[in-house]
Chain A
């Protein structure tokens, strides 16, 4: 009897081509399964504006297309709408300001911790200064209002419109385009 242990080298043999094929097949199946399991419309955001308890009453409150009507306003005297603050800035300008609530909700974006919100005027408002929060708005480019907005809750942002004394009396009209992007 031969009790001598036989040593044999442990050899792994695999064809490079075969390994690549198996990996490719596995990867493809995985990706297709992933896509199959996730409908294209699963990830979404909703943006709505609503009247703040301390602010002006918005038209279309609770929707993504609201309206803010200050009515007839004067630098000196006159009537200030409810929820609106008027401040006279020396002898150069005056400002109307009011908070509005912004609510952003997410669906299928578990990985998104917060959102970025930008705002831009639809038309030039150079004679006046438009602000949302600390951001000054123009029609040239979107201004960042927040880079880390919290989902779910109503966040108040103060809108302000500053009117120079030198501006002519008359109608002021513009629209703020607001975009939120999941971070």
Chain B
């Protein structure tokens, strides 16, 4: 009788021990709440075209085209730049460059691309593709641009009557998702 009582006590003790927090998995928990508001956006970058002049800042949205010292007759034409004499009236430097437009978090099949000169130039003629670009208004280069990479040709036409000297301007491009 005594033995059974003690054995029972031992079983009870072991059961209590096994269910004790000492042997239970010890845990702790916490939470991290995350919030963000995703806004749609469009990316516009310029990249050196394989057949074009090497852009400064290629792969960015602020590129530069430096033709260097150029002349209508003779001289050195930068690599991948085409020089054309327009009779005895003017001469043109042209080179392709790539425009890369991407869209994120917006359903948009195409984009509109415009270009505008930063400062007025009443003497020289600036063209992107077939479109003349001035400082007066933004000229539309395409109303249905396909996202990805598109090659455009920059052409700068200089009249023979223009005095020699520095030419400098900036073309502002704007891409808008349609």
**Is the C-beta of A5 less than 8 angstroms from some C-beta in chain B?**
no
Summed over the interface, the residue pairs from A and B with CB atoms below 8 Å come to a total of 186
Q: Judging by beta carbons under 8 Å apart, are B26 and A66 in contact?
A: no
Docked Cα-Cα span, A20 to B32, in Å, equals: 55
Partner of B30, one of A38, A43, A78, A178: A178
**Is the C-beta of B28 less than 8 angstroms from some C-beta in chain A?**
yes
Partner of A49, one of B3, B9, B32, B38: B32
Docked Cα-Cα span, A172 to B39, in Å, equals: 11
A28-B10, A72-B39, A91-B102 are known contacts. Are A180 and B27 too (CB-CB below 8 A)? yes
Beta-carbon contacts of B1-32 to A below 8 Å, as 1s and 0s?
01100110110111011001110011111111
Beta-carbon contacts of A151-181 to B below 8 Å, as 1s and 0s?
0000000010101011111111111111111
Which of B40-48, B63-71, B91-99, B131-139 faces chain A? B40-48
Q: Judging by beta carbons under 8 Å apart, are A65 and B21 in contact?
A: no
- For B, the interface residue count at a CB cutoff of 8 angstroms equals 40
Q: Judging by beta carbons under 8 Å apart, are A31 and B37 in contact?
A: no
- Which residue of chain A lies nearest to B104 when distances are taken between CB atoms in the complex? A75
Partner of B36, one of A21, A59, A96, A122: A96
Q: Judging by beta carbons under 8 Å apart, are B31 and A182 in contact?
A: no
**Is the C-beta of A8 less than 8 angstroms from some C-beta in chain B?**
no
A24-B7, A35-B20, A75-B43 are known contacts. Are A163 and B28 too (CB-CB below 8 A)? no
**Is the C-beta of B103 less than 8 angstroms from some C-beta in chain A?**
yes
Interface members, chain B 102-133 (any A CB < 8 Å): 102-107
Q: Judging by beta carbons under 8 Å apart, are A64 and B36 in contact?
A: no
A25-B6, A167-B105 are known contacts. Are A31 and B32 too (CB-CB below 8 A)? no
In the bound complex, residues from chain B placing their C-beta under 8 Å from that of A57 are none
In the complex, which range does the number of interface residues on chain A fall in? 35 or more
**Is the C-beta of B169 less than 8 angstroms from some C-beta in chain A?**
no
- Report the minimum CB–CB distance from A35 to chain B (whole Å): 6
Q: Judging by beta carbons under 8 Å apart, are A161 and B40 in contact?
A: no
Binding site for B on A (CB under 8 A): 17, 20-21, 24-25, 27-28, 31-32, 34-35, 38, 40-49, 58-59, 63-78, 88, 91, 94, 96, 100, 104, 106, 109, 112, 122, 130, 159, 161, 163, 165-182
Binding site for A on B (CB under 8 A): 2-3, 6-7, 9-10, 12-14, 16-17, 20-22, 25-43, 102-107, 148
